[in-house]
Amino acid sequence: MFWLLIAAGFGLLSLAHLAPFPFLLDAVAPAPALWRMPPDADAPAIYLTFDDGPNPTATPDLLDVLGRHGVRATFFLIDRHLNDETAPLVRRMFAEGHAVGLHSHTRALMLMTPTEVAATLSAAAARIERLAGSRPCRAFRPHAGARSGQMFAGLAAIDHVLVGWGWTLWDFNWYRRPDPAGLAERLAGRVSDGSIIVLHDGHHEDPAADRRYTVEAVDRLIPAVRARGLGFGTVC
């Protein structure tokens, strides 16, 4: 029984920090955690978010698709993927009305002190502003949703919100390459007013990863969501 209690406690502790859905830590954290947007009966909407960019091979095509459909989305960018080549893509995001937030490529931010977290994210925001001409909104998505009390304290110090995503509303496909048609069908069938979807236009290690499946899936997903009477918004 003792070891069962130890195992249960360890499991709860792990979920509090690593669960890809709201859990105990989010309820007591000093900074807000947003896993779903407030519903709006007058203008029901879902929220497309994209992680791990900017990607010089996929992000331009994704922006083209979003522009063709007249949809605004939120891009969570990895600081080390921003350079002179990709900065114009971020400028285009701002110019076309998309929201830009901060992302991380590693779980190491979980182990940083609150001061280090605040300094790391502030430096990334300043660099985006310097290279792309606009400052990102006060939203941060940690790598794989991994979070800690220190991270939340750091976010609180700079008035940022941690942004997650809806239950099963992601493009992970159990180590198989996602099928665009199947992905669009699954996501469209599970969203409701306020849902946050996460897809990837980049990769946390490969800045030029092949993400054509995301572009194709979004092209299919947008009309399917609209057919359900839902619009689109940004989390910022």
Give the residue from 74, 22, 32, 23 showing the smallest Cα distance to 160.
32
Q: Strands 33-34 and 161-163, how do they pair?
A: parallel
Q: Which of 26, 51, 52, 201 is catalytic?
A: 51
Determine the Cα–Cα distance for residues 32 and 137; give it in Å rounded to an integer: 14
Q: How far is residue 222's CA from residue 232's CA, in Å, rounded to a whole number? A: 9
Whether the CA torsion 208, 160, 35, 218 is positive or negative: it is negative
In the annotation, is 51 catalytic? yes
Q: What single-letter DSSP state applies at residue 94?
A: H
* Annotated active-site residue in 81, 98, 200, 204: 200
Contact 199, 217 (CB under 8 A): yes
- φ/ψ of 119, rounded to 5, equals -70, -40
Bond preceding residue 22 cis, omega within 30 of 0: no
- Annotated active-site residue 105? The verdict is no
* Token reading at 48: 């497309």
**Beta carbons of 51 and 76 less than 8 angstroms apart:** yes
Spatial neighbors of 119 by CB under 8 A, at least 6 apart, are none
Q: Are 161 and 31 in contact (CB under 8 A)?
A: yes
Count the Cβ atoms, other than its own, within 10 Å of residue 8: 10
Residues belonging to the active site: 51, 200
